[in-house]
């Protein structure tokens, strides 16, 4: 029986591809803007959003998307030019996390019986093998839509990222771009949370992008590499989890991302080390 005969595996591959595409590209800009912490904060906000939705009995995805997009925009408002200070971000999300724990208690005490920890673990650590066909297709399309949106604003966003002052002087709407980008990060976070969990999507955002940055200085090449590495790591992780059932898929995906990142960083260092030697020899 082949891999593709299992509907859960096909769903996981479809959803994973969409999510990885979005995470790879959004992550590249997050890393370039040194804003990974924003992604970190939003992933914790996703946890609270999901638990709030559970506690009040509304659709889980509604809570996820509403919480991440709202807080993403709030973080933009709190900072200058659509970028928030790390300390502000830290204070806000530490509190949001406390709220999440509150909703968790509300949810577990209001429900009669049942496993108390299941909701937490699935929100925090994801359940990509548990997606239905419809959910997987939605994840794929949302991922592709985010990918397309980032591609559409890539040029001005890159300009605003690399040299904000000059971009602003040239009439690039730096602030608006910052907000738009943060909203896209919010959408990506909410979507990825359903698959790999609130705590692990940071790896998909930071890992492939960090690797791309270590491999090339050219931004457009970096975007392609980052997205490709993200999709590759996702497929590798899913296959690993399929053949080694003891490994939870979220772990295997993150582990592959980590290995890819470490390999890229080592390769980048070796290359630049050789470059330095050549320079000294000359």
Partner 1 sequence: MPGNAAWSISWNVVRDIQEMWSLPSMVNAYRAGTIIAVTAGVVGWFMVLRRQTFAGHTISLAGFPGAAGAVLLGIASGYGYFGFCVAAALVIAYGARPGNREPANESALTGVVQAFVLACGMLFVSLYGGFLNQVDNLLFGSILGITDGDVILLAAVAVAVLGAMAAIGRPLLFASVDPDVARARGVPVRLLGALFLVLLGAATAEVSQITGSLLVFALLVMPAATAQIITARPGLSLLLTVLIGLVVTWAGFAFAFFTIYPIGFYITTFAFGAYVLAYLVRGAGPVLAARVSRLRSANDAARAASAV
Residues that bind partner 1 (CB under 8 A): 30-37, 39-40, 44, 85-92, 94-95, 97-99, 101-102, 104-105, 109, 115-118, 120-121, 124-125, 197, 199-207, 209-210, 213-214, 246-248, 250-251, 254-255, 257-258, 261, 265, 269
* 3 vs 94 by CB, closer to partner 1: 94
Beta carbon nearer to partner 1, 138 or 196: 196
Query: With 0-12 CB in 10 A as exposed, 13-18 as middle and 19+ as buried, what is 145?
Result: middle
Q: How far is the CB of 134 from partner 1 (least distance, A)?
A: 26
> How far is 101 from 273, CA to CA, in rounded Å?
47
Q: Which two tokens stand for residue 186?
A: 């919010």
Report the nearest approach of partner 1 to the CB of residue 111 (Å).
14
Using the structure block, give the residue that is written with the tokens 């497929």.
235
User: Which of residues 59 and 85 has its CB atom nearest to partner 1 in the complex?
Assistant: 85
CB of 86: closest distance to partner 1 in angstroms? Answer: 4
CA distance 2 to 125: 27
- For partner 1, which is the closer residue by CB, 136 or 198? 198
CB of 237 to partner 1, least distance (A): 10
Residues 6+ apart with CB under 8 A from 48: 67, 96, 97, 99, 100, 103
48, 143 Cβ separation under 8 angstroms: no
Question: Which two three-digit tokens encode residue 73?
Answer: 């925009």
149-162 burial code (b ≥16 CB/10 A, e <16): bbeebbebbbbbbe
Contact assessment for residue 23 and residue 204, using Cβ atoms and an 8 Å cutoff: yes
Q: Which is nearer to partner 1, 72 or 206 (CB)?
A: 206
Q: How far is the CB of 168 from partner 1 (least distance, A)?
A: 20
Nearer to partner 1, 40 or 191 (CB): 40
Q: Which is nearer to partner 1, 138 or 186 (CB)?
A: 186
Q: Which is nearer to partner 1, 36 or 153 (CB)?
A: 36
Look up residue 137 and give its two tokens: 């297709």
**DSSP-derived 3-state class of residue 82:** coil
Decide if 17 contacts 142 (C-beta within 8 A). no
Min separation Cβ 11 and partner 1, Å: 21
Q: How far is the CB of 239 from partner 1 (least distance, A)?
A: 17
Min CB(44)–partner 1 separation in Å: 8
Burial class (CB in 10 A: 0-12, 13-18, 19+), 219: middle
């Amino acid at each position: 029986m082949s891999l593709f005969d299992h509907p859960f595996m096909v769903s996981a591959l479809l959803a994973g591809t969409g999510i990885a595409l979005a995470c790879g590209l959004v992550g590249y800009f997050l890393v370039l803007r040194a804003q990974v912490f924003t992604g970190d904060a939003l992933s914790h906000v996703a946890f609270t959003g999901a638990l709030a939705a559970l506690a009040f009995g509304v659709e889980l995805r509604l809570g996820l998307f509403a919480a991440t997009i709202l807080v993403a925009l709030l973080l933009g408002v709190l900072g200058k030019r659509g970028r928030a200070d790390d300390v502000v971000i830290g204070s806000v999300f530490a509190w949001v996390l406390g709220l999440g724990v509150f909703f968790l208690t509300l949810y577990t005490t209001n429900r009669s019986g049942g496993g108390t920890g299941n909701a937490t673990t699935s929100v925090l650590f994801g359940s990509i093998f548990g997606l239905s066909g419809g959910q997987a297709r939605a994840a794929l399309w949302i991922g592709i839509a985010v990918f397309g949106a980032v591609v559409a604003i890539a040029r001005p966003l890159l300009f605003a990222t690399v040299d904000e002052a000059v971009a602003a002087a040239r009439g690039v709407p730096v602030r608006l771009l910052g907000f738009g980008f943060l909203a896209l990060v919010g959408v990506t976070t909410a979507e990825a949370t359903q698959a790999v969990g609130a705590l692990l999507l940071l790896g998909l955002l930071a890992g492939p992008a960090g690797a791309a940055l270590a491999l090339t200085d050219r931004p457009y090449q970096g975007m392609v590499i980052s997205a490709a590495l993200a999709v590759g790591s996702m497929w590798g992780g899913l296959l690993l989890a399929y053949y080694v059932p003891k490994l939870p898929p979220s772990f295997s995906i993150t582990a592959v991302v980590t290995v890819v990142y470490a390999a890229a960083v080592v390769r980048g260092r070796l290359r630049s080390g050789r470059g330095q030697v050549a320079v000294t020899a000359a």
